[in-house]
Amino acid sequence: MSEVSPLLVGYAARDVTPAVGTRLSGFAARTEPAVGVHDPLSARAVAFGHGRSSVVAVVVDVIGVDASLAAEVVAGVRARSPVPPDDVVVAATHTHGGPAVLRDAFLGDVSEEARARVVAGAVAAALGALRDLAPAELSYAVGSEPHVARNRRVPGGPIDPRVPALLARRQGRRDVALVGYACHPVVLGPDNLLVTRDHPGFLVDALEASLPGTDAVFLGGCSGQVNTGHSAEASLELTSTPRRSFAAAQRVGEAVAAAAVAALEGDARAVALGPVRAARTVALLPFVPPATDPSEDRARWLAELDGDPPPSPARRGWLEACRAWADRFPRPEGGVTAVDVVCWALGDLRVAWFPGEVFVEQALELAAAVPETVVCVSNANAAPGYVPHPSEYAAGGYEVEEAFRFYGAPGPFTPDASRRLGAAMLGLLAELRR
């Protein structure tokens, strides 16, 4: 009888903290550069292997990962590793306290030095995780934290309270924990000028303190319209509140970490040993021209910029980003954006990697539609911006009607875009069943 191949798990991390003075990303209202570092940023990589197959994901403390950044990381990994390019995933924690790295977006002036540091750190972390592969036993549990996340568009609207937690216990090595939660890392607002991981950083630190000998990785869930309770419009001014402070971010991270630890120590189940596989496809997301004429909008924005009295610094930042968008797209037309969609099989567990800021319904509907246990992760491999659920379009608002400009997109996505992402993921799950 041949010996059954063990599951292998590897981990590595690299520091990607930018220099003080780097422009932070995530708020058009914030126009000043970073004045210090509250907590360092990392690229954290985890690899899984079984037999001759292996996959690796790098999660970086940045606002997003566009296709060009992901391609650079994949190329760097492929140059020194036999892992197929389809089996490498690059995702972002979506912190709004990290450096601007999205070249085509209007989310802060990109520092090429900071971006290069992110790419180099992600490549080194991925290669380190692949070198660190060691036999492991993988367990899975789902905690619940219903008190932190809030639907910022619909009071009392849907959230995803689940806290999926994976724990790899490794022989003779440090253990590895992966914990997910669907809540925007925007506890800190545009008034913050310190580099920070926001609440995912406190979550990771609390996990590692509660599980000695463990390295932790945060997986951001589908949280396009979910944060800790403030509206998107609340981030358009440089207002300081106790609800958007480091103390508040710490409470959020520690609450989610506690839910994960309780679940792992309670009803965790072993993940059945089986193949480690990756499936990838391309989804075409349709967009339409904006509802208003960009040339008329540009004239209005310029008039306000040159007005007397002048706009506030926060308002000026928003207006300048909008003007820059109008300069790039004087007459935008409809079309499609192509994005990668990835799904992993880890034995009987699935990990669904979605591009961009998908809404919470994406995960809830997927869970209801398939028999597998699926962990959903957003902001992976591409940064197309918000992909709202069809039910959100009637209400309009920032995510539906305005945010596309800051991501450098020609126009907003149609309601069909979310359905296309879901259909693509369902196809990958079906492929992995074969």
Say if 279 falls within a structural domain: no
Tell me: do 202 and 152 sit in the same domain: yes
Structural domain contains residue 132:
yes
With contact defined as beta carbons under 8 Å apart, do 117 and 16 qualify?
Answer: yes
**400-433 pLDDT, tens digit each:** 999 999 999 999 999 999 999 999 999 999 999 9
Mean pLDDT on 348-370: 98
Terminal Cα-to-Cα distance of the chain (whole angstroms): 25
Distance (Å, whole) CA 344 – CA 280: 9
Could you tell me if 395 and 108 are in contact, meaning their C-beta atoms sit under 8 angstroms apart?
no
Say yes or no: 99 and 129 in one domain.
yes
**Same-domain status, 200 and 296:** no
Give the pLDDT confidence score for residue 414 in this predicted structure.
Answer: 97
Residue 119 confidence (pLDDT) above 50: yes
Q: Do 175 and 313 share a domain, yes or no?
A: no
Buried b (16+ CB within 10 A) or exposed e, 11-40: bbbbebbbeeebbbbbbbbbbebbeeebbe
Q: 147 in a domain, yes or no? A: yes
11, part of any domain: yes
Q: Are residues 170 and 300 in the same domain?
A: no
Residue 419 included in any domain: no
The residues pairing with 81 across neighbouring beta strands, listed in sequence order, are none
Q: How many CB atoms sit inside 10 A of residue 371's CB?
A: 7
Q: What amino acid is encoded at 194 in this protein? A: L
Question: Does 278 map to a domain?
Answer: no
143 within a domain of the structure (yes/no): yes
Closest by CA position to 135, among listed 178, 172, 81, 88:
172
Mean pLDDT (whole number) for 221-244: 91
Q: What interhelical angle do 246-266 and 199-210 show, nearest 10?
A: 40
The rounded distance, in Å, linking the Cα atoms of 175 and 263 is: 17
Number of domains making up the chain: 2
Whether the predicted pLDDT of 2 surpasses 90: no
C-alpha–C-alpha distance, residues 268 and 167, integer Å: 9
Per-residue pLDDT, averaged over 362-384, amounts to 98
Same-domain status, 218 and 306? no
Question: Is 189 in the same domain as 254?
Answer: yes
Burial of 95 by CB count in 10 Å (0-12 exposed, 13-18 middle, 19+ buried)?
buried
Residues 326 and 356 in one domain: no
| Cα–Cα dist 385/104, whole Å | 11
Residues 133 and 196 in one domain: yes
pTM of the model: 0.97
E strands, 115-239, in order: 134-144, 150-151, 162-170, 175-181, 194-195, 214-220, 226-227
**Domain encompassing residue 170:** 7-272+352-404
pLDDT of the residue at 4: 59
200 and 117 in a common domain: yes
Closest by CA to 352, choosing from 286, 426, 417, 419, is 426
Is 377 within 8 Å of 346 (Cβ atoms)? no
Tell me how long the chain is. 434
Q: What is the percent of the chain where pLDDT is above 90?
A: 91
Do 31 and 173 belong to one domain? yes
- Given a cut of 90, is residue 3 above it in pLDDT? no
Spell out the alpha helix ranges (H) of 166-312: 199-210, 246-266, 294-305
- Average pLDDT over all residues of the chain: 96
Instruction: Return the higher-pLDDT residue of 307 and 5.
Output: 307
The mean per-residue pLDDT over the stretch 172-184 comes to 97
Enumerate residues 6+ apart whose C-beta is below 8 A from 108: 23, 24, 25, 26, 30, 99, 100
pLDDT of residue 274: 87
SS3 127: helix
Q: Are residues 61 and 164 in the same domain?
A: yes
Q: Is residue 48 part of a domain?
A: yes
Q: Which two tokens stand for residue 229?
A: 């309770």
